[in-house]
A and B are shown apart, each in its own frame.
Chain A
Amino acid sequence: MLARRSVLGLFKGVDEAADALDAVRAGGFEQHEYEILTGTPYPEGAFGEEEPKHSLYRYPLIGAACGFIIGLILTAGTQLAFPLVTGGKPILSIPPMSIIMYEGTMLGAIIFTVIGIIIESRLPRLFMGAYDTRITEGYIGLTVTTDAERVGKAEEILTGAGAEDIKRGWEQTDFD
């Protein structure tokens, strides 16, 4: 398998970055090879990028189901195992059980949602690849991650598109 390298082009404005993205696409790079990096969310499609897809909605459903089942087992199981009648209420009393099962359902949904967000965001990411700290200051980054032999071509395209700066792979350690 060929080594993957990434290169980042830094742009000041949205239009320049969008034009650069067009050039990268025209250069034969595929969707999974390029990414726009910004320090703040922009309206979807502002760079002409494809709509990001995610399947986050599965996670809360699975989490809720797990939480519900655990809540049911906890409440019903523990009371049946230790049947102590209190206040004249039945051992399996639906109102209190439903309260704890509800909390379990919601907790499961929330925890799984958070796990889903982290996974779908492809985090944690140990090696960030090409990155520049000016992105969080308003600059827009366009990274291309591709085989080592094609990264030169990507760099040429980005330079040609008017990138303010080009960074490769691990060169993100300078700070102002």
Chain B
Amino acid sequence: MANEAIHYPLGHAADNPKWTSAEIITDDLLSRREKASKTFWIATSVFGVLLALGVIGMIMRLVDGVSDTAQWGYTAAVLSFMLTTASAAPMVAIAPRVAKGHWRRIVSRPAEIWSVAGLISLLLFIPMLWALPSLEDGRRSMWFYHPGEVYPYSPHLWTTLAIVALVVVGFMLLWVSALPDLAAVRDRSPLGSAVRRRYTWLSRGWIGTSAQWDWQKHRIGILGAFYFLMLITVHFLFSIDFLMTLVPGWIDALYPATHAANALQAGVATVILTMFFLRRFCGYKEIGHDQFWGLGKLMFALSLMWFWFWFSSFNVFWYGKKPNEEAVLELFIKGPYLPIFYLTFITVFIVPMFTMIWNFFRRSVWGPAIISVSVLIGTFFDRVRIYVGAYSVSDQAGNHEGIETIPPTVYPDLADVFIVVGAIGGAIFVYMLATRVFPIINVWEQKELLLYKLHKKYHRTVVLVLGKPE
């Protein structure tokens, strides 16, 4: 039934007709990154300056002290935003790999590199440990702490461990996945040069034996699963210990899962935007319609899921009319943060929903890119709404009955603006530096695809044949 294979430009998985052999792919991709342009360094410097602003903002905040938890709302919001976007982005590399989709190959490295932004999350997290109110004041805790008992200050211990584990596993995943490419960079570098020495150290003796490939495949699988586990755990712990326990009367079993589900959506949006930048400004035209279409569909489904999770919580609270739940709805939705809620609802759900149902929008490059900007803006404001609102009532946390007074909207001061701008800028800064170490496109996976993909003549038409080695 199979007719002879023909030389045909690689169509679906990578839109580059020149990629017809492993040598060509290696040469093309690695030569593009050998020297960074001036524009690149200017942009990196700008983000570096933003990071410095963030540090200044943090110092300003620390000078005010850690006792007033309400002041740390915006810091918590941006930390949550980092965990929701940058830390969730590697899932785009992990999940489709499990599902064995070939289109994800070209975007898995840009997604994995976002794990380095976990450093910014760690930096932001450190002062939060002190800003978090003590359990002695009687606020709820999922660790069943009783005042007077000396138990490991669990929110601090376990959440720290979880975030550190997430960042470490993220780094390991990136490094293990990049080993063959680091070896390729090593092999291309002149003997005795500093680059060669650096990459020899980084590639740890990778020469591409069967045993090494097997080892790598298994490690990627295990690290991917661990990363997912740690991501869910971090979202779970952070949304409870650093958010829900601060709001009296807010008992929402679904919210940790909602927090994690929002992260999946925002992570996909982050990767789509990254893809757009790489294609538009860095010349990586190989990131093509298939990638935008695949991720666009995923983001559409996740936007619907956002609504489902939100409505599940909302409906149960709204219907029961319990005073503590009505107060929570008043705080987060109907009260001081109503305009932000509308903005979030529109940008995270309405806009993706009513644009992505159209084929022409979904199958374009610009369509998913616009929607991902909308989703990221909406996610940021959603985090602001929830965290700033929650931290503003944290002084009432000891009252288990419910919120008694709802404070007015808390607006950011200069320190907050610096911290927010610094965190986001810092994440991008770290990302851009990381792309100087790790090749931005996964070279070995493109070469692997050559083995399993070809176009064949099928009677009067040409079809794509995709191999399934497993």
Contact = CB atoms under 8 A, between A and B. Distances in A.
B460 A47 contact: yes
Interface stretch (B250-258, B275-283, B313-321): B313-321
Interface stretch (A38-46, A117-125, A142-150): A38-46
A43 B359 contact: no
Contact of B458 (A46, A57, A87, A95): A46
A44 B359 CA distance: 20
A17 B339 CA distance: 64
A45 B461 contact: yes
B35 interface: no
A47 B461 CA distance: 8
Interface residues of A, number: 14
B463 A43 contact: yes
Contacts of B460: 18, 45-48
Contacts of A43: 458, 461, 463
A15 interface: yes
A46 B319 contact: no
Contacts of A52: none
A57 B359 contact: yes
Interface string A20-46: 000000000000000000000001111
A53 to B, nearest CB: 15
A88 B459 contact: no
Interface string A81-106: 00000011100000100000000000
Contacts of B359: 57
The range of chain B's interface size is 10 to 19
Given A95-B314, A95-B315, A88 B461 contact: no
Contacts of A45: 460-461
A87 B321 contact: yes
Nearest to A17: B459
A47 B458 CA distance: 9
Contacts of A47: 459-460
A108 to B, nearest CB: 15
Interface string A117-140: 000000000000000000000000
A14 B315 contact: no
A14 B459 contact: yes
B322 to A, nearest CB: 12
B459 A15 contact: yes
B461 A44 contact: yes
B458 to A, nearest CB: 6
Residue from B319, B321, B458, B459 whose CB has the most chain A CB atoms within 10 Å: B459
B459 A18 contact: yes
Nearest to B311: A95
Contacts of A18: 459-460
B338 to A, nearest CB: 15
Nearest to A88: B321
B459 A46 contact: yes
Interface string B331-374: 00000000000000000000000000001000000000000000
Contacts of B311: 95
A46 B463 CA distance: 9
**7 closest cross-chain pairs (CB), A and B:** A45-B461, A48-B460, A46-B459, A14-B459, A18-B460, A43-B463, A95-B315
Interface of B: 311, 314-315, 318-319, 321, 359, 458-461, 463
18 contacts: A14-B459, A15-B459, A18-B459, A18-B460, A43-B458, A43-B463, A44-B461, A45-B461, A48-B459, A48-B461, A57-B359, A87-B319, A87-B321, A88-B321, A95-B311, A95-B314, A95-B318, A95-B319
Given A18-B460, A95-B315, 13 more contacts: A14-B459, A18-B459, A43-B461, A45-B461, A46-B460, A47-B459, A48-B459, A48-B460, A48-B461, A57-B359, A87-B321, A88-B321, A95-B311
